[in-house]
Amino acid sequence: STYENILVETRGEVGLITLNRPKALNALNNATMLEVVAAAEAFDADPAIGCLVLTGSAKAFAAGADIKEMADRSSVDMDAADWFAGWDGLTRVRKPLVAAVAGYALGGGCELAMMCDLIVAADTAKFGQPEINLGVITGMGGSQRLTRAVGKAKAMDMMLTGRMIDAEEAERSGLVSRVVPADELLDRAIDVATLIASRSQVASRAAKEAVNTAFSTTLEQGVLHERRLFHALFGSEDQKEGMAAFVEKREPTFRHR
């Protein structure tokens, strides 16, 4: 592949992106994040892929944005480059994106995991927003996504003290979906992604869009949006097949997957 900071492969219908800057604990420099976004967009456009997994190494999912790349910049430099703007592309991927997190997910690493749709954590995972120790704060949406995920009390604690939470606390707080033994992390994340990929992509796109709408609008508008998506799905072959298969007591064969 043409990537320098990530590894890209497929596992069946799952597109797997692995952060691969081991010497820097997968610190996220601009080049790495642009590669992640490009690889994710390519999988999003590939009809053979139904779900994506983003992972790091056993020691670090990612230890943050690359401090060495940012350290000497001025506020004018950061603004002129619109630093982090290109990284948001990940949130425009429409296929489900699973983060498989082992070891450190700190700073931008935690924010990157939260840009994914669900997080499967190894029992070794540690999440934190230590930016406060560097004289800065989150810059990739962390203050917003963390607060929505874990609530004000835990988000303030993490943002103001910089303390790390372990996988068990992260699950208890609602930051991660599941905690699994570290040596099974990738297999379990691929299993989740394979199950997601086995369903109709028309429906999974709608499900992802519907949940994300909960973060961006009122209850009334969100419920209305869900209703419209629900009605629209009755125009897909996969709705006909899914419901017919149930009535006929057989497994569905979805066309759009």
Residue choice 17, 98, 99, 111 for contact with ligand HXC (CB under 6 A): 111
According to DSSP, residue 99 is labeled: E
φ and ψ at residue 169, rounded to 5 degrees = -65, -35
Binding flag, residue 122, ligand HXC (CB under 6 A) = no
Residues 53, 57, 61, 62, CA torsion sign: negative
Q: Which residue's Cβ lies closest to ligand HXC? A: 107
Whether the Cβ atoms of residue 127 and residue 105 lie closer than 8 Å to each other: yes
What are the strands of the beta sheet with 104-106, ordered from one edge? 60-62, 104-106, 126-128, 165-166
Q: Is 131 a catalytic residue?
A: yes
Q: What are phi and psi of 36, to 5 degrees?
A: -60, -45
Q: Quick check: 112 and 68 in contact, CB under 8 A?
A: no
Interface with ligand HXC, residue 130, by CB under 6 A: yes
**212 token code pair:** 């994300």
- Interface residue with ligand HXC, options 15, 50, 56, 107 (CB under 6 A): 107
Is residue 167 involved in binding ligand HXC (CB under 6 A)?
no
Q: For residue 50, state whether it binds ligand HXC (rule: CB under 6 A).
A: no
Classify residue 189 as left (phi > 0), alpha (psi -120 to 50) or beta.
alpha
DSSP codes of every residue in 153-181: HHHHHHHHH---EEHHHHHHHTS-SEEE-
Site string for ligand HXC, 66-105 (x = CB under 6 A): xxx---------------x-------------------x-
- Binding mask 181-220 vs ligand HXC (x if CB under 6 A, - otherwise)? ----------------------------------------
- DSSP code, position 236: S
- Nearest distance in Å: CB 151, ligand HXC: 21
Of 15, 108, 109, 128, which residue is the catalytic one? Answer: 108
Piece of the chain touching ligand HXC by CB under 6 A; list 42-50, 130-138, 146-154, 179-187: 130-138
Note the residues at the interface with ligand HXC (CB under 6 A). 24-25, 27, 63-68, 84, 104, 106-108, 111, 130-131, 134, 138-140
* Active-site amino acid positions: 65, 108, 111, 131
